Amino acid sequence: MSLIADRAEAETRLRNRDATVLLIIPEDFSRAAQAMGRGQAIPPTMVTFIGDLSNPYYAVAAVLAGSALDQYIQAATGRESPIQVTEEPLGASAARSEFETYVPGLLVFAVVLLIFLVAMAITREVEAGTLRRLQITLMTSMDFLG
């Protein structure tokens, strides 16, 4: 965790994945929490999370930061949190469809399954004696795999 005064620098770190989440807390956050603890009516405080929604670490960091904020408010005021949390996606990370999110993983999964399938097929041919008969022919290994 590090404090950064410049939002542009923080967003650059997010894009480079040197940081996971940018949490913007207003200057009067602690003062508002103390006033609320004394029973004063205050307008809701706005806290903002910014990050790449396609980064799996962002979801974890945002949940942990939100939980820490809730715990702080409950400890300072003794009540439920009146904080309004907004979330801003970094770049076009929110524009991705479910298809774009899931397909890369499915492709890797398909390749892994194909490796096992090919290994089983070759093993079956070895046990059946087919490969021994093919060794007698002029067929090359690449011909067999093709």
Whether pLDDT at 15 is above 80: yes
pLDDT at site 115: 93
Nearby residues of 14 by Cβ (< 8 Å), 6 or more positions away: 20, 21, 22, 50, 51, 52, 90
- Region 72-98: mean pLDDT is 72
Distance CA 113, CA 80 (A): 49
pLDDT at site 143: 86
pLDDT greater at residue 89 or residue 16: 16
**Binning pLDDT at 50, 70 and 90, where does residue 81 land?**
low
Helix or strand or coil: residue 16?
coil
Distance CA 4, CA 9 (A): 8
pLDDT greater at residue 79 or residue 137: 137
